[in-house]
Amino acid sequence: QTRAPAGARDPLSILKRVYGYPAFRGSQAEVVSTVVSGGDAVVLFPTGAGKSLCYQIPAICREGVGIVVSPLIALMRDQVEALKQLGVPAAALNSSLSGDEYSAVRRALSRGELDLLYVAPERAATPGFADMTRGVKIALFAIDEAHCVSQWGHDFRPEYRELGKLAELYPGVPRMALTATADPHTREDIIERLGLEKAEVFTSSFDRPNIAYEIVERDQPRQQLLRFLSRHEGESGIVYCLSRAKVEDTAEWLNTQGVNALGYHAGMDRAVRDANQDAFLKEEGLCLVATVAFGMGIDKPNVRYVAHLDLPGSVEAYYQETGRAGRDGLPSEVWMAYGMADVIQRGRMIDEGGAADEIKRVERAKLNALLAICETPGCRRQAILAHFGEAHAGHCGNCDTCLKPVETWDGTEAAIKALAAIYRTGERFGAGHLVDVLMGVENERTLRFGHTEMPVFGAGKDIPAKTWQSVYRQLLAAGLVRIDHAAFGALKLEPEARSVFKRERQVLFRKDRPGKGKSARGASP
């Protein structure tokens, strides 16, 4: 195999000649030059910013093979195919290879013929891999989806932990960690776990200005979804659901409504699932209804919308899932419908999950951070970016709260009533019952527990029940109350609530926006 002359192996000429792009984007050039000259790098760029080139070009420039650790076989396959098309010798080592294919890759590796080799995380830091690479010149290690190393991240994979050994196993070989997840906690963890303290850290803004954000209160989810989809006829998009059953029901129902929808979840027959994914990637105008099993590493540039019918578990997950829209930079819309039931369900998933208490606490905090974004009366974009430690002036003009500003109201008195209802009933009841108490609803439960005799009973009749539901969500988002999942979703007071009782703290609530559906009653001016 003939190597290009040294002069042609500088990064910019490779970018032009191999990839056909005229210029580097953002800080790609700085990342590339850091690694080409032997330094380590942590690359925190949002989805679509072009992380792949950051390791591919140094791997081509430097002597030896670049080893890319990647968590998904499908993703490896796509990248290797794309590289081969560009004339870059690349291969992947994973469990899907036949014996012959495996030997061929080993042979190419030992002859120094490869510029890039993709490997699964469970393989990279093993003695077997060390054997295989003995005497092979390694240009760099790139650890893609590096947030998988952190249990604070939303996609922890224990096998990533082993990658911390690469520093000792391959001294002097530059290492890179790349991810589109950037909450400060996860960021620090990546650096520590992978031994990248000396690495240069590159960040770029996480703002996706072409994505419009909208978050609505769920009321008639199917009708609401249909209204949203009607803005995207003939376009490609993703509808995320929490459960497999809901994926199937929703896809089926959408088809009866004239929406060309396909399902995708991990429990489906593999052939059908792969066919649906392929169709979505290759054809236009399809709506893919999926669980979060769909998406990582998917590069479909013209996804015009992402809808969530259920609340994700964290801002990171929400950001990553919505980030699959508009990778081509063209205007795209993301939309989510959520309600209190989601918060309870997510909380239960955390509680019933096998994680240690410390992790559960972090997961609850992550859920609350997302809830706070749902309930913010301010700019959504500003709130999302603030979560990632990035300042934004707000008033983005491309989110629902900016386009249709929500009014706020001084809810101090209402907050006191809502908190009093919790306190008086012994912190043992969920929001539904508490709203009944405030509205003075005489039913089996309010009577049985003697709540009809309490001063708070009926004390909230001046405000609609729907508003009380929203008050409780906002109290949760503000950290004034918490959900006790062990007590079936009972609301409990947080110590902070005391300052509200004492009127030391004013509470501002966002006004419910009049719905377009059945809740439009009495909403006209």
Tokens of 371: 């809830």
Q: Which residues pair with 69 in a beta bridge?
A: 119, 143
396 binds, among ligand ADP, Zn ion, none (CB under 5 to 8 A by kind): Zn ion
Tokens 């003695």 correspond to 127
Tokens of 174: 């530059």
- Contact 43/54 with Cβ under 8 angstroms? yes
Q: Which residue is nearest to ligand ADP (CB)?
A: 50
- Residue closer to Zn ion (CB basis): 334 or 379: 379
Determine, following the binding rule CB under 6 A, whether residue 24 of this chain makes contact with ligand ADP.
Answer: yes
Stretch that binds ligand ADP, among 47-55, 134-142, 254-262, 412-420 (CB under 6 A): 47-55
Residue 117 has φ and ψ, to the nearest 5°, of: -130, 120
Query: In this chain, which of 51, 187, 304, 380 binds ligand ADP, going by CB under 6 A?
Result: 51
48 binds, among Zn ion, ligand ADP, none (CB under 5 to 8 A by kind): ligand ADP
* Cα gap 469→438, rounded to integer Å: 11
- Contact 376/509 with Cβ under 8 angstroms? no
- Residue closer to ligand ADP (CB basis): 298 or 386: 298
Output the smallest distance, CB 12 to ligand ADP, in A.
10
381 binds, among ligand ADP, Zn ion, none (CB under 5 to 8 A by kind): Zn ion
- Residue closer to Zn ion (CB basis): 51 or 381: 381
Buried b (16+ CB within 10 A) or exposed e, 480-489: bbbbbbeeeb
Q: What angle do CA 54, 57, 59 make, to 5 degrees?
A: 105
- Contact 421/438 with Cβ under 8 angstroms? yes
Query: In this chain, which of 21, 103, 408, 517 binds ligand ADP, going by CB under 6 A?
Result: 21
Stretch that binds ligand ADP, among 40-48, 202-210, 222-230, 455-463 (CB under 6 A): 40-48
Output the smallest distance, CB 477 to Zn ion, in A.
18
Give the number of residues in contact with ligand ADP, rule: CB under 6 A.
13
* Region at 207 (left for phi over 0; alpha for psi -120 to 50; beta for the rest): beta
How far apart, in Å, do the first and last CA atoms of the chain sit? 76
Tokens of 243: 């459960």
* Cα gap 374→313, rounded to integer Å: 12
Interaction residues for Zn ion, span 362-401 (CB under 5 A): 379, 381, 396, 399
Output the smallest distance, CB 328 to Zn ion, in A.
22
Stretch that binds ligand ADP, among 41-49, 102-110, 194-202, 347-355 (CB under 6 A): 41-49
- Contact 264/292 with Cβ under 8 angstroms? no
Of 518, 265, 238, 206, nearest in space to 387 by CA: 206
Query: In this chain, which of 49, 68, 109, 143 binds ligand ADP, going by CB under 6 A?
Result: 49
- Residue closer to ligand ADP (CB basis): 28 or 322: 28
Residues that bind Zn ion (CB under 5 A): 379, 381, 396, 399, 402
Residues that bind ligand ADP (CB under 6 A): 21, 24-25, 28, 45, 47-53, 299
